[in-house]
């Protein structure tokens, strides 16, 4: 069976269109972000540092904080973590707490950060998964956005680029 020349041209045009649509598509980070009209009070905010010492941010105020929940097995976590680290360099007033959701394993978490090239973020743990229950988390990665008054003003469910100009503009409203 012989395929006509015009049919081949149409197929190529359709393929070019579909490929260019995917390549040039603007990823809409906002589909992963929920911003609340009224920030939610956080009654308690405690977790563990790398050495399993308690970190209590319950009454911490003054800076925007991002609690980023991740795991070593989570591919989207792996992709977004470098942009989260870059955000801390671009905007040092934003405090980031990268909380590993696995059974605390200092070496495994450190090796994961080295493997993905993250060198300056501190590692934290939530060994009893209290924060998972408190924030009613449904998946990883999840980031909780906390305003200067210590209230949750939004959350990100899924992977985003933390250096996205629209996300930075959103955060600047709260800085």
pTM: 0.83
Say how many Å lie between the first and final Cα of the chain, rounded: 66
- In tens, the pLDDT along 111-141 reads 999 999 999 999 999 999 999 999 999 899 9
Domain 29-172, what fold? Glutaredoxin (3.40.30)
Whether the per-residue pLDDT at 24 is higher than 50: the answer is: no
**Sole residue written with tokens 């081949």:** 8
Q: Is the pLDDT higher at 90 or at 8? A: 90
Helix ranges, the chain (H): 5-24, 75-90, 106-116, 130-134, 165-172
Domain boundaries, the chain: 29-172
Evaluate the omega torsion of the peptide bond into residue 141 and state whether it is cis, within 30 degrees of 0: yes
- In tens, the pLDDT along 67-90 reads 999 999 999 999 999 999 999 999
């Amino acid at each position: 069976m012989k395929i006509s020349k015009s049919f081949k041209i149409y197929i190529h045009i359709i393929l070019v269109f579909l490929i260019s649509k995917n390549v040039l598509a603007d990823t809409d980070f906002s589909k992963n972000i929920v911003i609340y009209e009224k920030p939610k009070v956080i009654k308690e905010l405690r977790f563990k540092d790398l050495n399993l010492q308690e970190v209590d941010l319950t009454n911490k105020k003054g800076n925007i904080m991002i609690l980023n929940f991740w795991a070593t097995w989570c591919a989207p976590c792996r992709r977004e973590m470098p942009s989260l680290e870059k955000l801390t360099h671009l905007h040092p007033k934003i405090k980031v707490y990268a909380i590993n959701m696995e059974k605390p394993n200092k070496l495994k978490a450190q090796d994961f950060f080295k493997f993905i090239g993250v060198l300056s973020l501190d590692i934290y743990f939530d060994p009893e998964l209290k924060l998972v229950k408190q924030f009613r988390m449904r998946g990883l990665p999840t980031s909780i956005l906390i305003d200067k008054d210590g209230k949750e003003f939004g959350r990100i469910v899924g992977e985003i680029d933390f250096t996205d100009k629209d996300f930075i503009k959103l955060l600047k409203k709260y800085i």
